[in-house]
Amino acid sequence: MISRLPKKSFLNSNSFKIKFFYLFILILFYSNAFTKAQVLPEYQLNDVIVTASRTPMTLSDLTSDVIVIGPQEIKDAPVNSVQGLLQYTGGVDFEQRGVDGVQGDVSIRGGTFEETLIMIDGVPMSDPQTGHHNLNLPVTLDDIQRIEILKSPGSSVYGANAFSGIINIITKKGSTKSLSLEASGGQNGYYDGLIHASMPIGIFSNHISFLRQKSDGYMHNTEFDITDFTYGASITSSNSNINLLFGYNDKKFGANSFYSTFFPNQWEHTTTKLFDLNGNFGTQSFQISPKLYWRHNDDNYILDYTDPSFYENNHHTDVYGAEVQASVATEIGITSFGGEYNTDKIVSNNLGNHSRVKKGIFAEQKISPIDNFTVIADAYAYDYSDIGWKIWPGINLGYNIAKNVRLFGSVGEAFRIPTYTELYYSSPASVGNPNLRTEETVDYELGINSLHHSYTARASVFYKQGKNLIDWVRSNDSQPWTAQNITNINTAGLELDFEINPSDLINNFPVYRVGIDYTYLNSSRVANEFQSQYLLQYLRHQLIINIENNWWAGIQQNWELRYESRVNAEDNFLVDTQLFRSFNGWKIFLKATNLLNKSYYEVSGVPLPGRWITAGIRLNIGE
C-alpha cells in the first residue's frame, strides 16, 4: 500500500485565496465580452421521461418533480465518476467517504442513504446487505444517456425501497457508430484510461466500455484502484426492442476511518456484477414489457490491513428478479398493470446466511378528464414476510394554468425493508436488530413548473410523515451503535430551481448557461436521550450554482459552486471547475475539485481531499 500525506497549498492565506477567487469571477464575466457564445441545444419540452410513472411522459406534462441530468451536463461536469454527478443536484445529498465513486451515500430531501432507490434502466440496484453499496455502479459516464431523479416517494410505482426518491440511470443503446478514447492524470498519483465504442449493424446495436482509475490517495490509506466494464446490445424493429446489459465493477480502496475513527487502516474490496434483459413489444395501443435481472455483490472488509486476522468480514449477496408490465391505451386513458417477483440472499461470515422473497402486483391509470389536466392514480400491492400483503397507493395531478406553466401535486405512501446489516450485524462498534419493523411514510407535494426553450423555473413545497424510521443510536460514546426503529419524524421542505441560457437572449454573451438550486429542510427530530448516527445530519440549507462560459480561442469552462449547511456539522462552501477545448474530435481538459482548498467533512471523522487537479485528453470519432 502507498501512503501519501495531503499536499500543502502555495496559497497559504485564506484572504488571498478568497480575493483571488472573486477576481477570477470578475474576469470571467467582463473580460471576454467579444467572445463568441457557445450554442447549446434549447430545452426540449417533448423529451420523454420514463421514471415518474409506469407510462412515459413528456417533460412538459409531468405531474411530479423530476430532474434530468442530460448528455451535455454529463460531458461538461468536472467529475470522473457517475457518483460525482449527483452532488450538483438540488435536493440530493451526496455524502462521500472516498472520492471518484470509491464510496458515497446518496439521499433525497432529508432521507437516509438507505431510503433512495437506485436503478439502471429501471433495474433496482439496492444492495440487501447495506445501502453503502447502492452506488457500486457497473457503468461509466460514457455509458449514460441521461439520469432521471424523482424527488418524491415511488413505492406506488416501483414497490420496496422507493422511499424518499428514485435515481434512474438511463444507458445508451449504441445506435450510432462511435469510438472514444480518454486518458488523464494528476495530483495524488491519479490516472485513468477509458475506451468506449458503439457499433450498429442493421437492427443490432452494440456498445462496450472499459475504464481503469487509480490513485495513491490524498492521505494515509486512501488509495484506490477501480475497474469498470460494460457491454450492451439492442435489437430494434418498428414495434419492438430487446435490450441486454452486462456490467462489472471492481473497487479496491483504503477505507481510512470509514466506519470507525479508531481504525485508520481499514481496507475494502468490492465487486459488483449486473445482468439485465428487457424488452418492449406491441403497438401504439398495446405494449408488453418483460424484464429479467440479476445483481451480485462481493464485499471483503478488513478492519486493520496490518493484521487481517484480527477482524475480517466477507459478504456475498445476490438479487434475482423478474417483472412484466402491460399497457393499454383506450378512450379513457392509459392503463398499465403487471407484477414482480424478487428474491435476495446473503452468505456472510458475520451476518449469517439468509434469504427472503418479495412479490407484488401493480396498476396505474392515467386519464385527462379535461384539456390540460392529468390525473395519475397508481397502487402497488406488495407481499413481504414481515408485513404480509399491503397496498401502497399514490395519486398525482397536473394542470397547465398557462402555456408552458404547470401546477402539479401528489400524495403517496412508501415503505422500506431493513437491510441484512441492520438486522443481523454484530461487532464491537455496531449491533443489528432482528426485530426491526418496515419503515413507512406518507408524503405530500405541491409545485409549479415554468418550462421554456431558453429557461426553466421550478418551485415546490413538500411534507413527509415518517413512521418507524430506522437509525443507529447509542446513549453515550462508550456504547456500540444499535439499529432501532425510532419515533416518528416529520420533515417539511422548500425547493427553488432556476436555469437559463443567457446567450439565447443576448447575442455574444460569454456565459451560456446558469443554474441555481436552493433547498431548505426542517425536521421535527431533535436529539434527546440518545445519539443519532444518520438522521440528525441532514442538510438544512443547500445552494448549488452552475455556470458555463466561454473564454478566448474556443476555451470553455464549467463552474460548480456548492454551499451546504448541515445540521450538527460545519458549513461547507466548495468550488469545482473544468476548463476544456474541443477541436476536430479532440478535447483537452483540466479539472479542479475543491478549488479553494477547503478542509471539510461530509461524513463525520472522514476528511475529504483539498484541491485536486487533473488534466487529460480525449478523442471522439463519430460522436
User: Do residues 47 and 522 lie in contact, with contact meaning Cβ atoms separated by under 8 Å?
Assistant: no
Task: Look at residue 1 in the predicted model and tell me its pLDDT.
Answer: 41
Q: Could you tell me which residue, 417 or 7, shows the higher pLDDT?
A: 417
- The alpha carbon torsion through 159, 154, 241, 41 (nearest 10 deg) reads -160
Answer whether 445's CB lies under 8 Å from 64's CB: yes
Is residue 45 one of the residues assigned to a domain? yes
Collect all residues with Cβ–Cβ distance below 8 Å to 603 and sequence separation of at least 6. Answer: 95, 96, 97, 105, 258
What pLDDT is attached to residue 480? 86
Is residue 285 classed as helix, strand or coil in its secondary structure? Answer: coil
CA distance 1 to 222: 10
What does pLDDT average to over the chain?
89
Task: Name the pLDDT band for 255 (thresholds 50, 70, 90).
Answer: very high
Q: What is the DSSP letter of 255?
A: -
> What pLDDT digit, counting tens, does each position of 339-374 carry?
999 999 999 999 999 999 999 999 999 999 999 999
**Residue 4 maps to a domain:** no
Domain at 545, CATH number: 2.40.170.20
From 111, 491, 159, 116, select the one nearest 341 (Cα to Cα).
159
Return the amino acid letter for 519. Answer: T
pLDDT value of position 528: 58
pLDDT at position 175 is 83
Task: Inform me whether the pLDDT recorded for 408 exceeds 80.
Answer: yes
Place 26 in a pLDDT band, splitting at 50, 70 and 90. Answer: very low
Name the DSSP letter for residue 115: G
In the structure grid, which three cell numbers stand for residue 239, read together?
414495434
Please, what is the Cα angle at 255 between 249 and 256, to 5 degrees? 160
Q: pLDDT at residue 12 above 50?
A: no
Does 154 fall in a domain? Answer: yes
In the chain, DSSP finds a helix count (H) and a strand count (E) of: 6, 37
Output 304 or 261, whichever has higher pLDDT. 304
Q: Is the pLDDT of residue 17 over 60?
A: no
Residue 44 has pLDDT above 60, yes or no: no
* Cα-trace Rg, the chain: 24
| Predicted confidence band of residue 603 (pLDDT cuts 50, 70, 90) | confident
Residue 38, pLDDT score: 42
Of residues 257 and 14, the one with the higher pLDDT is: 257
pLDDT at 420 over 90: yes
Per-residue pLDDT tens digits for 194-232:
999 999 988 899 999 999 999 999 999 999 999 999 999
Domain enclosing residue 169, as ranges? 14-621
pLDDT in the model for residue 31: 38
Q: Number of folded domains in the chain?
A: 1
- What pLDDT is attached to residue 203? 85
Residue 3 lies in a domain: no
What pLDDT, on the 0 to 100 scale, is given for residue 526?
A: 57
Q: 19 lies in a domain?
A: yes
Supply the pLDDT for residue 385: 73
Burial string for 436-470 (b: 16+ CB within 10 Å, else e) reads bebbbbbbebebebbbbeebbbbbbebebebbbbb
For the stretch 519-553, what's the b/e string if a residue is b when 16 or more beta carbons lie within 10 angstroms of its beta carbon?
bbbebebeeeeebbbbbbbbbbebbbbbbbbbbee
First-residue to last-residue Cα distance in the chain: 39
- Per the domain annotation, does 6 fall within a domain? no
The stretch 477-486 carries a mean pLDDT of: 86
**Segment among 12-26, 125-139, 232-246, 251-265 with least mean pLDDT:** 12-26
User: How do residues 290-334 score in pLDDT, each as one tens digit?
Assistant: 999 999 999 999 999 999 999 999 999 999 999 999 999 998 899
Residue 164 lies in a domain: yes
Bin 597: left if φ > 0, else alpha if -120 < ψ < 50, else beta: left
Indicate the range of 92-96, 284-288, 450-454, 583-587 predicted with least confidence.
450-454
C-beta of residue 479 within 8 angstroms of C-beta of residue 432: no
Higher pLDDT, 347 or 43: 347
Q: What does residue 37 show for φ and ψ, rounded to 5 degrees?
A: -70, 145
How many Cβ atoms from other residues are within 10 Å of residue 284's Cβ?
Answer: 7
The mean per-residue pLDDT over the stretch 575-582 comes to 96
> In the predicted model, is pLDDT for residue 79 greater than 70?
yes
- Bridge-based pairing of strands 481-485 and 430-431 is parallel
Residue 84 belongs to a domain: yes
What tens digit of pLDDT does each residue of 494-513 get?
999 999 999 888 888 899 89
Residue 568's pLDDT is 81
Indicate the burial class of 306 (C-beta count within 10 angstroms; 0-12, 13-18, 19 or more).
exposed
Poorest-pLDDT segment among 269-278, 535-544, 588-597 = 535-544
* pLDDT of 45: 56
Average pLDDT over residues 4-10: 34
**By the 8 A CB rule, do 576 and 78 touch?**
yes
Strands of 73-189 (E only): list them: 92-98, 103-108, 116-120, 123-124, 144-150, 165-171, 178-186
Rounded to whole angstroms, how far apart are CA atoms 510 and 514? 11
All residues at 6 or more sequence positions from 253 whose CB lies less than 8 Å from its CB, including other chains: 98, 102, 103, 222, 223, 224, 225, 226, 267, 268, 269
446 residue type, one letter? L
